[in-house]
């Protein structure tokens, strides 16, 4: 079957290619924002990368050579459009990147997830730049080979599928290959260690975050404040993923000491 973007159901395509939610390393109480044990149960090799505070962008590439740029929730621009959605500056940041990507020769849909940060994007924008500089950095990629079947689903199925590991994400080596192929910069790799080396208590984890990432590694200029947001932890096989944000630990410790 020959894929044609013009014939695809865009709401289904949007839902199919959204990024799933990432749990916190320690359980987060949504009612008050505090953390509690236990942690996400990692085993074996764990890869740590810098978590960057910006806005989630997507570059979705298709077998017919077209692409779509999206935010976390919405599709914003398709290759060749005369009008685009200016939301958060995502299209302005990612269109030059998408335009220079080599066409994908595979019969797949690929979704490249990039954090668009700097400028006035996000609470920590001034930690990355003292100007209006905006950049995009890739943190994940999913490959969808069975897109014909998936696009026949009712849209209600996608959320459960997406939030329960239905998407096939590239492993670490594949991710490096994908970044090299298209000229992407990957979110900084901080460490690879055994899960038994991860801290388990709230206070130990906060100290460990400061030790592992005392300052951001992705500042865009010398005027940046350079505070780091936190770390993303991934199992080597990509079956488990969790985030550890400094602000969550600071809030929890502050409340516990009152």
Is position 164 within any domain? yes
Q: Are 224 and 14 in contact (CB under 8 A)?
A: no
CATH number at residue 132: 3.30.470.30
2: pLDDT confidence band, cut at 50, 70 and 90?
A: low
Is position 30 within any domain? yes
Is position 183 within any domain? yes
Span 45-88, pLDDT tens digits = 999 999 999 999 999 999 888 899 999 999 999 998 888 899 88
Is position 1 within any domain? no
Rg (CA), the chain: 19
Q: What pLDDT is recorded for position 258?
A: 76
Three-class HEC string of 125-172: HHHHCCCCCEEEEEEEEEEECCHHHHCCCCCCHHHHHHHCCCCEECCH
Task: Count up the domains in the chain and report the number.
Answer: 1
Is position 3 within any domain? no
Q: What pLDDT is recorded for position 82?
A: 87
Q: What pLDDT is recorded for position 104?
A: 65
Span 204-233, pLDDT tens digits = 999 999 999 999 999 999 999 999 999 999
Nearest to 182 by CA among 46, 35, 54, 67: 67
- Neighbour tally for 168: CB within 10 Å: 14
Task: Tell me which residue range forms the domain holding 37.
Answer: 8-256
Q: What's the mean per-residue pLDDT of the chain? A: 93
Q: What pLDDT is recorded for position 105?
A: 64
Please calculate the CA angle 165-25-170 and round it to the nearest 5 degrees.
35
Please report, for residues 26, 223, 240, 243, the alpha-carbon distance to residue 23 in angstroms, rounded to integers and kept in the order given.
8, 32, 9, 6
The strand pairing partners of 168, in sequence order, are: 143
Is position 32 within any domain? yes
Span 239-257, pLDDT tens digits = 899 999 999 999 999 998 8
Q: Cis before residue 187, ω within 30 degrees of 0? A: no
238: pLDDT confidence band, cut at 50, 70 and 90?
A: confident
Measured distance CA(41)–CA(48) in Å, rounded: 15
Is position 187 within any domain? yes
Span 20-53, pLDDT tens digits = 999 999 999 988 889 999 999 999 999 999 999 9
pTM of the model: 0.93
Is position 251 within any domain? yes
Residue 97 has pLDDT above 70, yes or no: yes
Q: Are 168 and 144 in contact (CB under 8 A)?
A: yes
Measured distance CA(98)–CA(59) in Å, rounded: 7
Q: What pLDDT is recorded for position 58?
A: 97
């Amino acid at each position: 079957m020959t894929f044609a973007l013009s014939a695809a159901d865009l709401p289904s395509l949007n839902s199919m290619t959204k990024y799933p939610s990432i749990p916190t390393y320690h359980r987060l109480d949504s009612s008050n924002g505090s953390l509690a044990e236990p942690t996400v149960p990692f085993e074996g090799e764990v890869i740590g990368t810098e978590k960057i505070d910006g806005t989630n962008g997507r570059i979705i590439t298709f077998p017919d050579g077209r692409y779509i740029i999206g935010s976390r929730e919405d599709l914003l621009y398709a290759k060749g459009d005369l009008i685009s959605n200016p939301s958060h500056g995502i299209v302005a940041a990612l269109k030059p990147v998408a335009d220079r990507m080599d066409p994908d020769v595979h019969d797949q849909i690929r979704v490249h997830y990039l954090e668009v940060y700097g400028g006035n994007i996000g609470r920590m924008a001034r930690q990355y730049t003292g100007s209006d500089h905006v950049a995009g950095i890739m943190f994940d990629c999913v490959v969808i080979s069975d897109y014909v079947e998936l696009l026949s689903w009712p849209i209600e199925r996608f959320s459960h599928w997406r939030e329960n590991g239905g998407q096939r994400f590239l492993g670490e080596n594949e991710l490096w290959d994908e970044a090299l192929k298209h000229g992407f910069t990957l979110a900084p790799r901080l460490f690879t260690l055994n899960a038994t080396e991860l801290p388990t208590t709230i206070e130990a984890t906060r100290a460990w975050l400061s030790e592992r990432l005392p300052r951001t590694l992705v500042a865009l200029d010398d005027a940046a404040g350079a505070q780091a947001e936190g770390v993303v932890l991934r199992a080597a096989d990509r079956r488990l993923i969790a985030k550890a944000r400094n602000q969550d630990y600071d809030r929890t410790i502050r409340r516990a000491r009152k």
